[in-house]
């Protein structure tokens, strides 16, 4: 098993002592097949136990270890050291306040997810005794792609509009709303539109497409957002030009 | 949070983006050919005047001008914001007014043809 | 333990140099300047047409100027970039589900490209460009 010497430049920030962040260089011996997360774990275990960062599954399903690696939003557990040359710069996910070291403040994101009512709101209440909601494979396929989001926030780090306009509800939240709107069992679209079709909803999106490029699960949030824009636009013109069509 | 009225400006933007995607390149080719001395037959004064004189052509031209200018205006507005100009309402008024002015001018000229 | 989150500043307009994808986005947005300018050129043409043959000839003469030709070449390039980016993104906004599967993006884009080519050809023929 071969080894390699890797230099990492990691952003450090101690909220109790530091006025602003600084970069700290670590040089560690790593295994050839390691990912950046392995290097961080090695640093924390053997070199500097004060280094703070989030991680959990180490297999790209929990969404915890999102970081900026050489300026690109990536999951640390999915970033192979062999793909990098020279010093690897590791910073907290962009566009979020820094709590400590590589840990970001994600309160804004969590609040936005909750705002879109990410749960099934049935068209008509149906007691459990009446049986399950049935769904064809085609109906499932319609929204399946948007269920794959692991809430890793890489899309928020990549989105330039979220960087400029912090109130923008963001790609993951809108994709999540779209996931439920497209679900045949759901009837809550009108309620979600209050959040999604607002100015800080989908209308701050300029279809940069960076969100879909960095998404590790291929959710394609950019697609969800454009679909929401078109549906919302059709709705608006119907409502204002043909009000008699309202149910 | 109230639903936005953004669709008013976004609808024509999307239509304009589509029209310019399909039509603008070949239009540029036509005037480029004229510029290079290979003017298409349509560019003879008599033919062009007859073409633009037809009510259907006038409607199509006016519509194309409006949608093209509107989608330009909307994109300019977004780009200004992206580039750090935060006075969005002011920029919006300027660009959309410009698009409407260009459209009004084209309609005026068309009525005189 | 007291919280003291640090907020990093976003550079007002240099953010799009951070990665090629943002430069491509900016290039795409900038196509609107050339498309808008060309449309205004057409409006100027309408104006000259409405003023009679002499004015119209003046417009054609201006078209033949070096500045106009340079502008046309640039505008053509930018308008192509707009068309290509637009057609490539259309399938994302308008997915088509046939049965269980979605029509592949390449088919939807391809249909747009085909329609674009056909329309351009028809316009060229009808305008007597050949």
- Coil, strand or helix: which one is A11? strand
- Cβ-Cβ contacts under 8 Å, B12 against chain A: none
Residue A247 has pLDDT above 70, yes or no: no
Helix (H) or strand (E) holding C50: helix C20-50
Whether residues A118 and A96 share a domain: the answer is: no
B74-112 pLDDT, tens digit per residue, is 999 999 999 989 899 999 999 999 999 999 999 999 999
- Examine the predicted complex and report whether its ipTM is higher than 0.90: yes
- Cβ-Cβ contacts under 8 Å, A13 against chain C: 6
* Boundary (domain end) residue, out of A48, A69, A104: A104
* Boundary (domain end) residue, out of A104, A124, A144: A104
Whether residues A150 and A235 share a domain: the answer is: yes
Contact between B11 and A237 using a beta-carbon 8 Å cutoff: yes
Counting one residue from chain B and one from chain C, the pairs whose CB atoms sit within 8 A come to 152
Contact between C128 and B42 using a beta-carbon 8 Å cutoff: yes
CATH number of the domain to which A178 belongs:
1.10.1060.10
pTM above 0.90, yes or no: yes
Please indicate, yes or no, if residue B1 is contained in any of the structural domains: no
Interface residue C20 vs chain A (CB under 8 A): no
Whether residues A80 and A60 share a domain: the answer is: yes
**Which of B2, B11, B78 has its CB closest to that of A206?**
B78
Whether residues A26 and A85 share a domain: the answer is: yes
A2-12 pLDDT, tens digit per residue, is 899 999 999 99
Closest CA–CA distance from residue A151 to any residue of chain C (Å): 21
Please indicate, yes or no, if residue C4 is contained in any of the structural domains: no
CATH number of the domain to which C48 belongs:
1.20.1300.10
CATH number of the domain to which B32 belongs:
1.20.1300.10
Domain that holds residue A171: 107-246
Closest CA–CA distance from residue B74 to any residue of chain A (Å): 11
Whether residues A148 and A240 share a domain: the answer is: yes
Q: What is the mean pLDDT of residues A52-64?
A: 97
Please indicate, yes or no, if residue C120 is contained in any of the structural domains: no
Domain that holds residue C47: 17-90
pLDDT for C93 equals: 96
What is the number of domains present in chain A?
2
Q: What is the mean pLDDT of residues C34-49?
A: 97
CATH number of the domain to which A52 belongs:
3.10.20.30
Contact between A223 and C1 using a beta-carbon 8 Å cutoff: no
Tokens 């290039």 label which residue?
C27
Mean pLDDT, chain C, rounded, equals 95
Closest by Cα among C76, C89, C80 to C116: C80
Contact between B4 and A206 using a beta-carbon 8 Å cutoff: no
Domain that holds residue B87: 6-111
**Which of A142, A222, A230 has its CB closest to that of C94?**
A230
pLDDT for B1 equals: 62
Q: Do strands A3-12 and A88-92 pair parallel, antiparallel, or not at all (unpaired)?
A: parallel
Whether residues A150 and A59 share a domain: the answer is: no
């Amino acid at each position: 098993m071969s080894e390699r010497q890797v230099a990492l430049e990691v952003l450090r920030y101690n909220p109790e002592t530091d006025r602003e962040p600084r970069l700290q260089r670590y040089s560690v011996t790593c295994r050839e097949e390691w990912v950046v997360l392995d290097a961080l774990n090695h640093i924390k275990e053997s070199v500097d136990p004060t280094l703070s960062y989030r991680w959990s599954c180490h297999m790209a399903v929990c969404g915890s270890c999102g970081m900026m690696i050489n300026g690109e939003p990536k999951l640390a557990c999915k970033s192979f050291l062999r793909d990098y040359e020279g010093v690897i710069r590791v910073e907290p996910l962009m566009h979020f306040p820094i709590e400590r070291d590589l840990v970001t403040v994600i309160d804004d994101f969590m609040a936005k997810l909750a705002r879109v009512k990410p749960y099934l709101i049935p068209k008509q209440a149906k007691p459990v005794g009446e049986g399950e909601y049935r769904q064809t494979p085609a109906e499932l396929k319609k929204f399946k792609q948007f269920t794959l989001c692991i809430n890793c926030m890489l899309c928020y780090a990549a989105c330039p509009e979220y960087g400029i306009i912090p109130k923008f509800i963001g790609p993951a939240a809108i994709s999540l709303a779209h996931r439920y709107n497209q679900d045949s069992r759901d009837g809550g679209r009108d309620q979600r539109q209050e959040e999604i079709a607002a100015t800080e909803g989908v209308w701050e999106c300029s279809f940069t497409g960076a969100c879909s490029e960095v998404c590790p699960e291929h959710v394609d949030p950019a697609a969800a957002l454009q679909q929401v824009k078109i549906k919302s636009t059709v709705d608006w013109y119907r409502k204002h030009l043909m009000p008699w069509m309202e149910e | 949070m109230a639903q936005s009225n953004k669709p008013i400006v976004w609808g024509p933007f999307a239509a304009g983006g589509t029209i310019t995607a399909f039509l603008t390149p070949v239009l540029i080719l036509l005037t480029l050919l004229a510029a290079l001395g290979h003017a298409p037959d349509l560019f003879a004064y008599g033919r062009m005047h007859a073409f633009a004189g037809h009510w259907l052509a006038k409607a199509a031209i006016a519509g194309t001008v409006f949608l093209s200018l509107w989608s330009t205006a909307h994109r300019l507005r977004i780009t200004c914001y992206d580039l750090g100009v935060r006075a969005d309402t002011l920029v919006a008024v300027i660009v959309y007014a410009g698009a409407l002015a260009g459209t009004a001018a084209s309609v005026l000229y068309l009525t005189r043809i | 333990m007291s919280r003291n989150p640090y907020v990093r500043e976003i550079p007002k307009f240099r953010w799009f140099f951070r990665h090629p994808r943002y430069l491509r986005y900016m290039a795409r947005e900038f196509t609107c300047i050339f498309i808008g300018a060309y449309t205004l050129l057409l409006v100027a043409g309408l104006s000259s047409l409405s003023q009679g043959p002499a004015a119209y000839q003046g417009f054609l003469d201006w078209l033949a100027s070096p500045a106009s030709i340079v502008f046309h070449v640039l505008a053509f390039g930018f308008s192509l970039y707009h068309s290509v980016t637009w057609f490539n993104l259309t399938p994302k906004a308008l997915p088509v589900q046939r049965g269980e599967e979605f029509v592949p993006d390449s088919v939807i884009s391809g249909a747009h490209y085909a329609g674009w080519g056909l329309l351009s050809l028809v316009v060229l023929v009808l305008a007597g460009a050949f």
